[in-house]
Structure 1
Amino acid sequence: MRDDIIDRCGDELFDAFKGRHTLAPLLERFPEITIEDAYRIQRRFIARRLEAGETIVGKKIGVTSKAVQNLLGVYQPDFGQLTSGMVYREGETIDLGALIQPKAEAELAFVLKRDLTGPGITAMDVIHATDYVSPCFEIVDSRITDWKIRIQDTVADNASCGVYVLGSAKADPRDLDLTLAGMVLEKNGELFSTACGAAVQGSPANAVAWLANTLGRLGIPFRAGEVILSGSQSSLVAIADGDVLKCTIGGLGACEVAFSGRSAA
């Protein structure tokens, strides 16, 4: 795709983000978009957010579990950038009015204590480079109308990033069995789903290693202090005003988040 079309698409996504409105799927309008083009659009979208004063604080892996792949009809992982404007702290109520068509997913977050540069990174390298892991909620939010996305649409849209919150529980990943640790997700005090780390590419550490290697081939390292969201272990959860979600990971602890307001869409 021509550079001017790449920039146009990235600017449209930024304007949709700022104005809290949606766009028709990019792939409908530009069927020639490749995944490589989509990542170029993502970079433009993120560049606009950085120009507006945000900073990069980490990375996210998306569409890693079969549950989410089947729901969205997207059958390969993708990645996006986490920015300072996406961060909520546990105990804060997430304002749905700042989002468009949000959905929640529960996952494990890795906080790094040293840089990781792929390719050649293994799951064990990830574990040794991690300061701690925490339970986490990512609130995904598509700028594409009605979530009618193909892989190119969600990649361009920064892997459908919305906001995220890390739980206060922390553990050294060497003290956990990341593959077998069970996750229980509750919505308003009732069981919503159960899963384990193996639902995410066999292990959340495998997913993080995949991303380190994928970004390494693009010349992008993981940096010490960055937050890496390893991908949802649950299906996407619809959320509305007054909802409270809680995810508990065996041997680690829980993360709880509440929501108020009404989303734009």
Structure 2
Amino acid sequence: MTLHSDEIAAIADELAAADRAHGVIPRITARFPEATIEDSYAIQGVWRDANIAAGRTLVGRKIGLTSKAMQDATGITEPDYGVMFDDTVYPSGSDIPVEHFSNVRIEVELAFVLKVPLEGPDCTLEDALAAIDYAVPALEILNSHIELEGRTIIDTIADNAAYGAMVLGEVRKRPDEIDLRWVPGLLYRNGEITETGVAAGVLDHPARGVAWLANKFHQHGARLEAGEIILAGSFTRPMWVSRGDEVLCDYGPMGTISCRFV
């Protein structure tokens, strides 16, 4: 790491204040061009621990930038991860307040719930599939607290990988019940289709991101735990939404998700 601990703590405090105010701060990389990916995960970790100390409950992890569509959309070419708290999870059909976010974009994903812990360093797709209890369709709500123009993966990671919230579907499938690579996503805004994709767009198999995360966690002396929700990454480009927009995503054999932004 290149940043001092007091700089890391100060940036984490800035991000927490931006979250409370639903605003954005200047790019970290514009102010600290020497910052590394290790610095950005350290910032995220300080922010995460402060939230847990304040009483929030961690329910899972999000993986981002796992598909070519998202890498092309952001100009960032490697995956990242963040944390998800229980108060950011919505059921399908929810009304979601726009004022809870600085900016609102929607991504089409699958989420996985683990039945046993999963640990690297050599976790494979087969290991991940064996550890998964079930898959469930999910929409991720992106929410950046750092200015979007010119941001890098360092900015994004520090900002909890731009995670805002998640809307979960109702259909659950075990990995042996469905070919997860071919789960479709047809994303609509106010009845108009805007994005389409299939889950294989995420690393050729959406559960491969779970294996990647387990191996990444091993580098930090940690593992994924049973019961955690793992949001595997988008297989469409992000779709902007505003107050009043109604969102529907059709996942074919895995049902639909709907929500409305109010």
Length-normalised TM-score, structure 1: 0.94
Q: Matched residue pairs, number?
A: 260
Give distance in 1, aligned partners of 2:157 and 2:148.
16
Aligned to 1:263: none
Q: Structure 1 CA distance, aligned partners of 2:83 and 2:90?
A: 16
Paired letter, 1:233: F
CA distances 1:50-94 after superposition (whole Å, capped 9, x unpaired): 122111110010111122211211111100011122111222211
* 1:230 correspondence with 2:212: no
User: Could you list the per-position Cα deviations for residues 102-138 of structure 1 after superposition, in whole angstroms to 9, with x for gaps in the alignment?
Assistant: 2111100001111111122111221121111111011
Q: What does residue 124 of structure 1 align with?
A: 126
Q: Distance in 2 between matches of 1:57 and 1:2?
A: 30
Partner residue, 2:141? 139
Structure 2, gaps ≥5 residues long: none
Which stretch of the first structure deviates more once superposed, 22-31 or 250-259?
250-259
Mapping for residues 203-242 of structure 1, pairs under 5 Å: 203-242=205-244
CA-to-partner distance for each residue in 1:114-163, whole Å, 9 max, x for gaps?
11111221112211211111110110100012454101000101101101
Aligned to 1:181: 183
Describe the SS at the equivalent of 1:21: coil
Map 1:1-265 → 2, pairs under 5 A: 1-260=3-262
Q: Secondary structure at the match of 1:145?
A: coil
Does the 8 Å contact 2:93/2:257 carry over to 1?
no
- Aligned equivalents of 1:225, 1:132: Cα separation in 2: 11
Cα deviation, residue 221, structure 1:
1.2
CA RMSD in angstroms, aligned pairs only? 1.2
Range moving further from structure 2, 230-239 or 186-195: 186-195
Q: C-alpha distance in 1, partners of 2:185/2:23?
A: 33
For residues 31-66 of structure 1, the C-alpha deviation after alignment (integer angstroms, 9 at most, x for no partner) is 110001110011011112112211111001011112
Displacement of 1:180 in angstroms is 2.3
Equivalent position amino acid for 1:230 in 2: A
Q: Which amino acid aligns with 2:101?
A: L
1:188: how far off? 1.7
Higher mean alpha-carbon deviation, 61-70 vs 20-29, is at: 61-70
Kept in 1, the 8 Å contact 2:250–2:257? The answer is yes
For residues 189 and 222 of structure 2, the distance between their equivalents in structure 1, rounded to whole angstroms, comes to: 37
User: Does the 8 Å CA contact 1:11/1:48 hold for their aligned counterparts?
Assistant: no
Matched to 2:131, the amino acid is: A
Whether the 8 Å contact between 1:138 and 1:164 is mirrored in structure 2 is yes
For structure 1, the 5+ residue unaligned runs are 261-265
